[in-house]
Structure 1
Amino acid sequence: MLDVQKTANNEMADAAPHPQEARTIRREDYRPPAWFVPEVHLDFQLGAEQTVVKSRLDVRRSKSAKYQEPLILDGDDLLPVSVRVDGESWTDWTLVEGALHLPLTGASHIVEITVEIDPSTNTQLMGLYASGGMLCTQCEAQGFRRITFFPDRPDILSRYTVRMEGSKADYPVLLCNGDKTDAGDADGGRHWAEWVDPWPKPSYLFALVAGDLVANNDSFTTRSGKEVELNIWVRDGDLPRTGHAMKALKDSMRWDEQVYGREYDLQLFNIVAVSDFNMGAMENKGLNIFNSRYILADPEVATDADFDGIEGVVAHEYFHNWSGNRVTCRDWFQLSLKEGFTVFRDQSFSADMGSQALKRIEDVRILRAAQFPEDAGPLAHPIRPESYQEISNFYTATVYNKGAEVIRMMHSLMGADRFRKGTDLYFDRHDGEAATCEDFVVAMEDGGDADLRQFRSWYETPGTPKVSARLSHDPQSGTATLNLSQQVARTGEKPEPSQMVIPLRTALLDPDSGEHEGEELLVLDKPEQSFQFEGQTEHPILSINRGFSAPIIMESSQTPEELAFLSTHDDDPFARFEAMQQLMTNYLTARVTGTPADRDIVLQAVGAALSDESIDRAFLAELILLPSEAFLGDQMVVVDPEAIHEAREKLRGKIAVQFERKFRRLYAQCTPGEFSLSAEARANRKLRNVCLAYIAGSQADDAAALASDQFADADNMTAKQGALSVLSHMEDKDRGWAFDDFYNTYRDNALVLDKWFTLQSLSQRGDTVKRVKALAGHPDFTMSNPNRVRALYGSFTANPVRFHDASGEGYRLIADMVIHLDAQNPQTAARFIPPLGRWRRYERGRAELMRTALEKIAATPDLSKDVMEQVSKSLA
């Protein structure tokens, strides 16, 4: 993807630039295409080691283009076998930095190009590649140029007709975008299929799959009465694990009709599960290609979180049919136009399918774990970036998750009805177009009768706003005054006052009853603002940013007593959770910095939650969880991982000892019955695992035996993984037995084996770095599968106390891995730079070691631009 080459008539002097000299692409430099390609015909002669691709492009010069501008067709590691223009052989072409330049006169032409590619050597997993005996594609963002020469940009919308031919024995199933229009047998044991996609689409949405697959076949009847054939294609043995994904697809189709009025627009919808995949899934028109981890599930191999992930990702990719496909991006700077909007849609869908409160907690936890650090580090960027060198580096938490929060704020400001009117106008106005973020906002304004001019600053401002809240009370007048101020911190700069539009759901709770007179939506749109509330006979308790209505850092003067009160009485579930988290966070950060703090009030709040029998068990499990070590580090000016780990473990141990009897009672009460995905059954499994972890934290003599028994008796992966996670940190002999048993049971299931690698990488044992190195040499470890790489090395970077070992061994381990992986899969390798790139946040010794690791990567010859861009920004 994302050298001097000999052409038919000359030697090219324009070699591709060295990664250190990679060209920076800027949003301000966008120019409309000089040529359009309304029709594309592709012919594939498929083979794992040689695939011949013949393209027939109907190219038409833009009326606004200069007449002398050549036709430029992007290519990556391609060499044309033949080039024809209007039926005649054409030799007047050159290759410049991989792109094919044809100096054509006239307004329109038919250009035919033949290339040969080798899918078996495509380790980047971009373009057409081989995976487990099948052929498949990934074209977003710039993978299509690895298949054939083409103007590979999202504002070129074309109708595709595709003919595929291959060995009937090797590839009995031939799939492409759109609807299949014809098929038949060919000579030599081969067969062919022809597909036509009637909807114009950019090249990044092209998809092709050929393999020995079977389908879970179903159908869905749209609201207009059209029956759509649904297929989820997998390898034969995986078919029984596709039921949950099929249900999620049908639920998604129904929900999109009901909530957004969007109906599916083809006769056929195909999904294919692929083992080797850089991303989670891809929304190619009518043929979604998925990482198999987001399709395959049953209770034995998938946790409740896996089931949720499948539901959310299936929904996300289906919703892209409108928010991404029918209306696509004009250029890659507009990526959040489709991704932020669609993440908001899939979050809303999942909340409607399950628990609104739990889903919001999950979404905010992910935002704070991934996006807030991004906003505070050297890779910070707005949700609509201004420049890039490698677009794959901008598939980030900022574009996706913060982008979703921006859409959520629009929904809060406008209300559901006006928001729907805005989206209806957006889809109608821009159907079949490549649009911009401005187009979306204008449609929301026009359709929803809203003024979002000032709100647009969210699209161009990096950094997380900090809001300071101070509540005062005048007992004589019965008036409470809320004083708010806002700042935005640029990376490495002093925070400055800002005028972001920040919607804050707010309520004032009675300090005796915990009740309030109603929630208000306050809009902070100035550097400082005051809001007054009458009729407050006593000093109320402030509940602000309820439901996390804005993606901000809230700084308030709330006392531990007030936070404890909110954690018990607030009627907004997220606000209640947030108060408990803030209470624990304040105590732990104080302990790390040596500031006096009252532990008893934290214990009292936890005790009150454990004694409240009205609390849903799944919510209780979230409420009593301690903040993560990574999150605690984000709250500190200088991060000391060892000190954070020690303080957190001490508090966890104290809670575990003080409430051990309650944890044991709840653990027994949550004993599972027959497996079910009902809310009650899932809540019991969730709370039971949390209680087990706390019992282990009490250092009880029987903790290892209890975890071992749960592991041995479990009939589902949620319980089994929960027990194994507890055992992973222990020295007990049962740990080794359990991990061996898990491996021997699931060694032939790649997705479950990923869990085996992950749990060992997350272990807090002192030998974890040594164990990770050993696992890298395990026969079942491979660098060619991104899931396996993420399971071992990605999990290790999420293990603060071991990744940040004071020796620096963890940093060196990741640096060496990145250098090795970059040569075969730059996109995946680049994902490992951000954990090292936050070196300035750490105490001096670790900071120097992290920087040294980055410098080692930067000094590597022939480094990809994916990795070099991330490293150079991290060191700047």
Structure 2
Amino acid sequence: MREHTPKTIYLKDYTPPDYLIDTVDLFFELDEENTRVTAKLRVRRNPESPRENPELELNGEELLLESIKLNGRGLNASEYRLSEESLVLPSVPDRPFDLEIVTRINPKANTALEGLYLSKDMLCTQCEAQGFRKITYFIDRPDVMAKYTTTLVADKSRYPVLLSNGNRIASGELKNGRHWVKWEDPFKKPSYLFALVAGRLECVEDRYVTRSGKEVTLQIFVEKHDLDKCDHAMQSLKNAMRWDEENYGREYDLNLYMIVAISHFNMGAMENKGLNVFNTKCVLARPDTATDSDYEHIEGVIGHEYFHNWTGNRITCRDWFQLSLKEGLTVFRDQEFSADRTSRAVKRIDEVNMLRTKQFAEDAGPLAHPVRPESYIEINNFYTLTVYEKGAEVVRMMQTLLGKDGFRRGTDLYFQRHDGQAVTCDDFVKCMEDANGVDLTQFRRWYSQAGTPEVHIAADYDAANRVLNLTVRQSCPPTPGQPVKAPFHIPLAIGLLAPDGTELPLQLEGETEPHGQTTRVLDLKEPDQQFRFVGLPEKPVVSALRGFSAPVRLHMNRSDQELAFLFSHDPDPFNRWDAGQQLATQVILDLAGRLSKGETPTRVDSRLIEAYRRIIGQDWADLSYFALLLTLPSEEYISASMAIVDPDAVHQARQTVKRELAATLEQDFRRLYQTHHVDEAGRFDAEAVGRRRLKNVCLSYLSELETEDVYRLSVRQFREARTMTDQIAALSTIVNSHNPEKSDCLAEFYERWRDDDLVIDKWFALQATCHLPGTLDRVRELLSHPAFDLKVPNRVRSLIGAFSQSNPVNFHARDGAGYALLADHVITLNALNPQVAARMLTALTPWRRYDKHRQRLMREQLQRIAGVENVSKDVYEVAMKSLS
């Protein structure tokens, strides 16, 4: 157990830094166990600091201090104070001064993968959020921005490639087979954006000419055997550069843009200035090794990190409470980029699915926090869905309220006003206000208030006056530290459909002329508001929250008939899909309720089957969207509607409905499968991707029949597949069925791909997410598999993470064995990699949503974890907040 309670950091306590650092000159003598770092800093008093004659405090962790010089004079131990987390100089000059600090570090021992560490045979860094303090003593906070030069010295045979931020300005050879390279970054940056990579790497190179005519060299560095998997990433980068020029007027500012793909990485990617470090899964792709979803994900992440060059690097966050300033905005930008590159409808649905199943649960649990948090113990715990995905929704709402042109005016002003600065979320909103002449004071509550607002809509049609009256109420449940919430400013997009499915023009009472629009964005600002639509000859069906215009829980009393109507007719693609999900959820929840009571229902509501039959009978240009319409809501989605989650009943009910749909619509699914089962290996256009998605949804339904011919169909697709999309989809149906060739197919897959780490991650995840009994025992076996390594984050996520976060029926088994397995490995990971341990632990945090028996078992494991000796700050914070 921790001997001392970790310190809590509060937003309200923010003060400007006492000192600023203008330039940083770094000299690395690289070695995997004994790296020597010389840091020469130009330091000066900050005129904005409120303190007189402050001490100079530098952050530092896990460093061996070798020497300190102040203006060229060596300091003795009596002239500074050294602790496990800081180096303090009580007396420094009032004028700008030079500080030289020499430290030694052991990258090989750094299993936390923060600071400088060893990834296979490569040395690399991860400095966000506070990793730079593990490299040298520094004022490690984002509002201290400096210009960096970096010289790397290393053995040339072991580290032939030496990379850092900015432009390469010099290099040379040294004695004893060593060499050096010097890099200069002309732009000021905070320490969290520093990066270096050293190792045996090969380079794929290309060029991009900006809109103004500047040529930029593009380089992707990978291990030699991965050279043939970089084409998609390179094209994605060029697509992102062009998109940012066209949509935001932003050009790249250096002559060189580098990406390095490494396997040992806690995150997806990192936007270090000019030198992006990526997890290999977010770069490497080839049709036979990566799925269509992988290809889309790679393009989105490549875009995200590139877009950070302006929204994160050129303009950064003042403090870590403002993390969503860069992440929420950049997620929104990468979402819009991906929507333009793929199916906008499918992209939006995927985003909302993530919010409803993951982020809403975060908002409703003990770890709930605002988009701009008020406090933290360990900043790594705030790289959350609330900061990222909900933060992106807040930005999206601003665009919805201001329109695309108004939003562009706001971002133009933001880039002009704050280039080169470290600023706040309020600064961004202020630019939106000033550029558009609006007041967003109430809207700012989205940044400061936690929780998911609840919006209730009641519709009353007055036939005599041809008026529809909408009564709208909003509220927000209490969250930790915020028992009472003020009303939000919610943009509520509304449409009305006539009984024949056509859209109606919307005219609000008091408007002298018809508005002409079929979708109106209403400003919901009060706890209760009424909106009266006039000129409606028949009772309309309300299409509310179109495009998911705000991250809220919407409540309307919808009959199954009304949902089926919207599922068949709503022209808003999100609301059409959502109506189908609600209809299916109602049917499944009703069935789950009866199963919980011990009943054994034999039939599924025919209205759901007929609704699906009508969808199948229509023509669809967007086949990916068609595939989504045919996909049942996930068990997580369904469980979100339950006050007390019964994972067994939800699973059994959903499987019952899926089997019934498969049996009733079998011929339709077979026809669609055969029609779209064509060989299009290497094609990733919308039509080819859509055909594969639709075909594999149909195969998933057919596999529920558990017939010999479907077994053969799945195995044939598995063995003949020329894309990973088709092979992994077929293997998934095999793993989740009683197919007699299951073991053989799993063995074949492993033998074929055993040397490709990313594909073997899929092999682990497929088995970890199998819904059949016996999966926990299989997970235990896989934990001892030669290919599993607890020190590799991707492996941990693919097995332990997949089982605990994506297999509710087995993880939540009533004997609590799943909880114990997770807790065992969180405790082990706590000593190896606290960041990953804390992420894994979140599967136990929503324990209050389950029955008393499961609550007790989950709480016991949380208490066991919290009581571990020397528990890390990362894990301690998550465990204690969950238990409070």
| TM-score by shorter chain over 0.5 | yes
1:457-516 alpha-carbon deviations (Å, 9 max, x no partner):
000111101100111101101101111101101238999674111111111100124332
1:370 deviates by: 1.6
2:435 corresponds in structure 1 to 447
Does the 8 Å CA contact 1:20/1:865 hold for their aligned counterparts?
no
1:550 corresponds in structure 2 to 550
Does the 8 Å CA contact 2:291/2:723 hold for their aligned counterparts?
yes
1:60 deviates by: 0.4
Letter of the 1:671 partner, please give it.
H
1:367 deviates by: 1.4
2:809 corresponds in structure 1 to 801
Letter of the 1:93 partner, please give it.
Y
Does the 8 Å CA contact 2:37/2:103 hold for their aligned counterparts?
yes
1:19-75 alpha-carbon deviations (Å, 9 max, x no partner):
750000000000100010001000000111111000001110122443431111100
1:221-232 matches, cutoff 5 A: 221-232=209-220
The verdict on how the C-alpha distance between 1:303 and 1:461 changes in structure 2, with shifts beyond 3 A counting, is same
Does the 8 Å CA contact 2:62/2:84 hold for their aligned counterparts?
no
Give SS of 1:542's match.
strand
2:475 corresponds in structure 1 to 487
Query: What is the rounded CA distance, in whole Å, between the counterparts of 1:752 and 1:775 in structure 2?
Result: 15
Letter of the 1:857 partner, please give it.
I
Query: What is the rounded CA distance, in whole Å, between the counterparts of 2:194 and 2:605 in structure 1?
Result: 57
Give SS of 1:209's match.
strand
1:814-863 alpha-carbon deviations (Å, 9 max, x no partner):
00000001101000000012211111000111111111111111111110
Give SS of 1:593's match.
helix
1:536 deviates by: 1.4
Query: What is the rounded CA distance, in whole Å, between the counterparts of 1:188 and 1:313 in structure 2?
Result: 41
Query: What is the rounded CA distance, in whole Å, between the counterparts of 2:195 and 2:451 in structure 1?
Result: 36
Query: What is the rounded CA distance, in whole Å, between the counterparts of 1:661 and 1:356 in structure 2?
Result: 30
1:593 deviates by: 2.7
1:102 corresponds in structure 2 to 89
**1:27 is the counterpart of 2:11:** yes
1:789 corresponds in structure 2 to 796
Query: What is the rounded CA distance, in whole Å, between the counterparts of 1:662 and 1:394 in structure 2?
Result: 46
Determine what percentage of the aligned residue pairs are the same residue: 48
1:208 corresponds in structure 2 to 196
**1:512 is the counterpart of 2:512:** no
**How many residue pairs were aligned?**
860
2:727 corresponds in structure 1 to 720
Query: What is the rounded CA distance, in whole Å, between the counterparts of 1:719 and 1:105 in structure 2?
Result: 65
The verdict on how the C-alpha distance between 1:494 and 1:830 changes in structure 2, with shifts beyond 3 A counting, is closer
1:83 corresponds in structure 2 to 68
Q: Aligned to 2:752, which of 745, 750, 761? A: 745
1:530-588 alpha-carbon deviations (Å, 9 max, x no partner):
11111212210010111111111100012111110011111111110011001111222
Letter of the 2:81 partner, please give it.
T
1:111-130 matches, cutoff 5 A: 111-130=99-118
1:138-153 matches, cutoff 5 A: 138-153=126-141
Q: Aligned to 2:34, which of 42, 46, 50? A: 50
Query: What is the rounded CA distance, in whole Å, between the counterparts of 1:614 and 1:300 in structure 2?
Result: 28
Letter of the 2:686 partner, please give it.
A
1:346 corresponds in structure 2 to 334
1:672 deviates by: 1.8
Q: CA RMSD in A?
A: 1.5
Letter of the 2:820 partner, please give it.
R
Query: What is the rounded CA distance, in whole Å, between the counterparts of 2:291 and 2:501 in structure 1?
Result: 40
1:387-466 matches, cutoff 5 A: 387-466=375-454
Greater shift in the superposed pair: 553-562 or 865-874: 553-562
Does the 8 Å CA contact 1:487/1:496 hold for their aligned counterparts?
no
Q: Aligned to 2:640, which of 634, 644, 650? A: 634
Give SS of 2:128's match.
coil
**1:834 is the counterpart of 2:842:** yes
The verdict on how the C-alpha distance between 1:556 and 1:496 changes in structure 2, with shifts beyond 3 A counting, is farther
Query: What is the rounded CA distance, in whole Å, between the counterparts of 2:674 and 2:484 in structure 1?
Result: 53
Does the 8 Å CA contact 2:2/2:867 hold for their aligned counterparts?
no
Query: What is the rounded CA distance, in whole Å, between the counterparts of 1:373 and 1:362 in structure 2?
Result: 16
Letter of the 1:101 partner, please give it.
V
1:651 corresponds in structure 2 to 657
Query: What is the rounded CA distance, in whole Å, between the counterparts of 2:489 and 2:287 in structure 1?
Result: 45
Gaps of 5+ in 2: 506-517
Query: What is the rounded CA distance, in whole Å, between the counterparts of 2:177 and 2:58 in structure 1?
Result: 34
1:63-462 matches, cutoff 5 A: 63-65=47-49, 66-91=51-76, 92-107=79-94, 108-462=96-450
Query: What is the rounded CA distance, in whole Å, between the counterparts of 2:169 and 2:429 in structure 1?
Result: 39
Gaps of 5+ in 1: 1-16
1:612-659 alpha-carbon deviations (Å, 9 max, x no partner):
123532111100111111111111000110011111111111111000
Does the 8 Å CA contact 1:487/1:495 hold for their aligned counterparts?
no
Does the 8 Å CA contact 1:19/1:863 hold for their aligned counterparts?
no
1:145-199 alpha-carbon deviations (Å, 9 max, x no partner):
0000000000000000111110111111110000010011011100001000010
1:6 corresponds in structure 2 to none
Letter of the 2:161 partner, please give it.
V
Does the 8 Å CA contact 2:449/2:485 hold for their aligned counterparts?
no
Query: What is the rounded CA distance, in whole Å, between the counterparts of 1:602 and 1:472 in structure 2?
Result: 26
The verdict on how the C-alpha distance between 1:824 and 1:614 changes in structure 2, with shifts beyond 3 A counting, is closer
**1:62 is the counterpart of 2:55:** no
1:703 deviates by: 1.9
2:702 corresponds in structure 1 to 695
**1:821 is the counterpart of 2:829:** yes
Query: What is the rounded CA distance, in whole Å, between the counterparts of 2:398 and 2:704 in structure 1?
Result: 43
Q: Which TM-score applies when normalising by structure 2?
A: 0.96
Letter of the 2:590 partner, please give it.
A
Query: What is the rounded CA distance, in whole Å, between the counterparts of 1:148 and 1:607 in structure 2?
Result: 64
Greater shift in the superposed pair: 46-55 or 362-371: 362-371
1:532 corresponds in structure 2 to 532
Letter of the 1:104 partner, please give it.
S
1:18 deviates by: 4.0
1:13 corresponds in structure 2 to none
Letter of the 2:68 partner, please give it.
V
Letter of the 1:406 partner, please give it.
V
